[in-house]
Chains A and B, each alone.
Chain A
C-alpha cells in the first residue's frame, strides 16, 4: 500500500487548492478526463508506431501532470516524450503500463480529495 506523498507533492497541492478554491473540483475532473483520453491516445500511438506524435502527447501530459503536482506521473510522461524525440518505441509499451498504473493512483487520490 503506497502513501499519497509517493504520487503527489502534498505541500504544492495544498497551495494549488488554496489558489483554485471552488474551482479545484473542476480542475480535478478536467485533468482526469483529459489525461485518461491521453493515456488511451498514447496506447494507440504506440501501436501505430508514431514517435513524433508520441513526443507531442507525452509532452502535453508531462506538463499538465506537473501542474497538478503529480511529479512521478510527469516523470514517466517525460521518459515517453524522450523516446519519441529519439524516434524509437523500444520499451514504450512497458513504460506506458507503468504510467497507466501511476495515473490510476493519482486519479484515485485526487478524486478522494487528498
Chain B
C-alpha cells in the first residue's frame, strides 16, 4: 500500500519537476524560500540581487522566476523587464516576492512583467499552488507556441503545394487556343481553384470546340476534376471525336471519379466556320446567349441537361441545339459568377442586366467589355472578382482562323510510319455502333508531317464513309436530303435501316507512300451496295446546291483525283500533300 502510494507520488514529482530562479537580497528569506521550493522537488537557482538574477537567467533559462521587488544594485522591477526581454516569445512566469501592499507598488510589479505576488511570511501551501498554476500555464503556452510553429510550417507547405498544383493545373487545364482571334474571355488566374475551367481547341476538320465548366465547391476539391476534363477534351478534340463523344466521355469519367455532390456545370460549343453553324450543349449552367449582329437580338439557349458527372452513361443525354450563324454573330458562355455578382445590398447582377448591356451596346465588339465593366460597377469592386468567368465566340471565316494546328516544316517528316497500306473492313455490328473515323484519323496522324492536313483528310474520310454507309450499304437516296423536310426523314430512315442491318460491309483500303517533301495518300472506300452508273459523275459536274451538295465536289478541290471504280461501289481518292515551309 505505502509502496504504491510512494511510487505514484514520485512519478508525479518527476513530471512536475521545474527549474526555478529565486532572487532575494535577504539571506534568511532566501534560505527559507529555497528550502521550501527544493522540498517540492524543484531545482533552485539562487541570486542575491537583480544583476545576479539576470546572469543566472541567461545561464540557466529557468522555467519560473521568483523576484524580490526591493533589492540593491539592480532591483526586481528592472530585472523583471530584462528577463522578459531575454525570454522573447516563450512565457517565463515572474512572481514578485513582496510584502508591499500599496497599489502603486503592485502596479509597478505588473508593469515590469510580473504575473503574481507572494507575500511574506511565506506560506508553503500558497507557494505550492502558485508554482503549480504557473507551471501549467507555461506548458500550455509552450504547446500553443509549438502548434503555432507547426501551423506556420504546415501553412508554408500548403502554399508551396498549391503553387506546384497550380503549375500542374495550368499545364494540363490550359485554355488551349483561347487566344484565337474570334474569342474573348475572362478567367481569373486562380479560376481553377474556384472550380472554373475554360478550354478551347481547334478541330482537325478546321472547326473549334469551346468548353466552359464550373465545378461545385472551391479549392483543391473543385480543381481536381479539371484535370481529367481537360485531358479528355484536348485528347479527343485533336483526334477528331465529336462533341457528343467528348461530352459522353467526360461525363462518364466524372461520374466515376467525383464524390456524390461534386459535379461540373458546363456548356460546350462546336463551331463550324465552314457551315457557319454551332452546336450547343448546356448542362446546369446559366443560359448560353446567341447574339444576332444584324437583327441586334439575343436568343437564350436554356440548360436542357444535368451537369456533367451526375447521371450514368446510359441516361446521359447529348442532344444539342443547332444554331445557324452569320459572320459577326456571337455566342456567349458564362459560369454563374457574373449573374450572381452581388452589390452591397446583396442584389445580384442578374440575367436581365446582362441582356440590357448587350442590347444597349452600340458596337457589338464592345459587348464583352461592357458586360465586364457593368458587373464591376454593380458589385462595387475595382478589382476583378475571382468568380467571373465568361467567354465570347464570334463567327468568322475559316481563313480568319488560320492554320488549325499550326504545324509544318521538314523536321516533321522524320521518324514514324511513312510507307504502308492497310485494309479495314467494318461489318454490320461495327457499322451500327462504332464511328471508325477518329481511329483512322488518329492512325493517319502518325504519319510525320501529315497533321496540318488533318482537316482535309477528315473531311474526305467522313464524306466517303457516309456515302458508302448511307447510299451503299443502307441504300438511302440522297434526293431525300434536297429539302429541309426530307432531311429529317432521311435521318429517321437511316437510323431505322442501320438498326435492322445484318449484312454488308464498308472496306477502307488506305495506302501511304512518301515523296521527297510530303507523300501520296490513296484512300479507296468500297461497299456492298449496288453501286451506280457513274459515267456522268466523273469530274466536277456534281450537284453543288442543296444540303447534300458539298460532298464530292468539295473533295475534288482538295486532291489530285477522285475516281469511281467497279460498278460504282468503290471510290478512290488520291491526295498529294507537301510540307508548307
A interface list, Cβ under 8 A from B = 12, 15-16, 19-20, 23, 26-27, 30-31, 34, 56, 59-60, 62-64, 66-69
Contact = CB atoms under 8 A, between A and B. Distances in A.
Given A34-B27, A60-B26, A67 B32 contact: yes
Given A19-B124, A63-B26, A27 B32 contact: yes
B39 interface: yes
Interface of B: 25-29, 31-32, 35-36, 39, 70, 99-100, 120-122, 124
A12 B121 contact: yes
B99 A34 contact: no
Contacts of B121: 12, 63, 66-67, 69
A92 B32 CA distance: 30
Contacts of B28: 27, 30-31, 34, 64, 67-68
Contact of B70 (A12, A20, A26, A56): A56
A31 B29 CA distance: 8
Nearest to B97: A63
Nearest to A20: B35
A64 B26 contact: yes
Given A19-B35, A20-B35, A67 B29 contact: yes
Nearest to A78: B99
A63 B71 CA distance: 13
A66 B553 CA distance: 119
Most chain A Cβ neighbours within 10 Å, of B28, B36, B99: B28
B31 A26 contact: yes
22 contacts: A12-B121, A23-B31, A23-B35, A27-B28, A30-B27, A34-B27, A34-B28, A56-B70, A59-B99, A60-B25, A60-B26, A62-B99, A63-B26, A63-B29, A64-B26, A64-B29, A66-B99, A67-B28, A67-B29, A67-B121, A68-B28, A69-B121
Name, among B39, B120, B121, the residue most crowded by chain A CB atoms within 10 Å (CB to CB).
B121
A59 B31 contact: no
A64 B27 CA distance: 9
Contacts of A56: 70
A66 B120 CA distance: 7
Contact of B26 (A16, A26, A34): A34
Contacts of A20: 31-32, 35
Contacts of B31: 20, 23, 26-27, 30
A19 B36 contact: yes
A16 B36 CA distance: 9
Contacts of B26: 34, 60, 63-64
B118 to A, nearest CB: 11
Contacts of B120: 62-64, 66-67
Contacts of B29: 63-64, 67
A56 to B, nearest CB: 6
Given A19-B35, A23-B31, 17 more contacts: A12-B121, A20-B35, A30-B28, A59-B70, A59-B100, A60-B25, A60-B70, A63-B29, A63-B99, A63-B120, A64-B26, A64-B120, A66-B120, A67-B28, A67-B29, A67-B121, A68-B28
A34 B39 CA distance: 24
A20 B38 CA distance: 11
Contacts of A30: 27-28, 31
A30 B249 CA distance: 93
Contacts of B25: 60
Contacts of B122: 67
Nearest to B98: A63
Nearest to B72: A56
A34 B120 CA distance: 17
B103 to A, nearest CB: 14
A30 B26 CA distance: 9
Closest 4 CB pairs of A and B: A63-B120, A31-B28, A66-B121, A30-B28
Contacts of B39: 19
Contacts of A69: 121
B461 to A, nearest CB: 103
A62 B70 CA distance: 13
Nearest to A67: B121
B67 to A, nearest CB: 14
A69 B32 CA distance: 12
A64 B31 CA distance: 11
B423 to A, nearest CB: 107
Contacts of B32: 16, 19-20, 27, 67-68
Question: In this complex, which of A23, A27, A62, A67 has the most chain B Cβ atoms within 10 angstroms of its Cβ?
Answer: A67
A69 B121 CA distance: 8
A15 B124 CA distance: 10
A83 B26 CA distance: 22
A108 to B, nearest CB: 17
A106 to B, nearest CB: 12
Contacts of A66: 99, 120-121
Nearest to A23: B35
Contacts of A27: 28, 31-32
Nearest to A33: B27
A69 B31 CA distance: 15
Contacts of A63: 26, 29, 99, 120-121
